[in-house]
């Protein structure tokens, strides 16, 4: 399973394979992240499904994230072709969210009562 490591100075995410959850340590934004071990780096073409976090979502797939644009940049990178999905509660689905030109939609939103295919 892969976990993101936030590279603040480069404003990017890297994903690393983790086989022992005890290897995760609290780092950026108070979130547990994997150690930077080059041999465990996951390339874009080895990602089939990316779970994208968010605070609010609209049914078209746009979301309000946490303000850094890390996932939008990662999804927009050359070679990224994975399915993207967000896990949310029904109450996080709203009619509209603010959008910027660089925002990237997710393919699916999965809540406790439904799965939304974002067209």
- Could you list the mean pLDDT of each consecutive 10-residue stretch along the chain, which spans 119 residues? 93 95 91 93 95 97 91 93 97 96 96 95
In 10-64, DSSP assigns E strands to 12-17, 25-26, 32-33, 49-51, 56-57, 63-64
pLDDT at residue 29 in the model: 82
Tell me, what's the pLDDT at 68?
A: 86
Residue 28: the pLDDT is: 81
The count of other CB atoms within 10 Å of the CB of residue 76 is: 12
CATH number of the 43-119 domain: 3.40.50.10420
pTM to 2 decimal places: 0.91
For the chain, report the end-to-end CA distance as a whole number of angstroms. 28
Spatial separation of the C-alpha atoms in residues 26 and 36, rounded to whole Å: 13
Residue limits of CATH 3.40.50.10420 in the chain: 43-119
**For the chain, how many residues are written?**
119
Residue 50: which of 99, 8, 15 has the closest Cα?
15
Pair 18, 54: CB distance under 8 Å: no
């Amino acid at each position: 399973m892969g976990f993101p490591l936030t590279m603040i100075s480069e404003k990017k995410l890297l994903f690393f394979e983790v086989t022992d959850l005890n290897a995760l340590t609290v780092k950026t934004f108070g979130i547990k992240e994997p150690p930077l071990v080059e041999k465990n780096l996951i390339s874009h073409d080895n990602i089939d499904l990316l779970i994208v976090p968010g605070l609010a979502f609209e049914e078209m797939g746009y979301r309000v994230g946490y303000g850094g644009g890390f996932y939008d940049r990662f999804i927009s990178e050359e070679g990224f072709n994975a399915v993207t999905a967000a896990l949310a509660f029904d109450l996080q689905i709203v009619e509209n969210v603010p959008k910027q030109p660089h925002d990237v939609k997710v393919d699916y939103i999965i809540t406790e009562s439904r799965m939304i295919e974002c067209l």
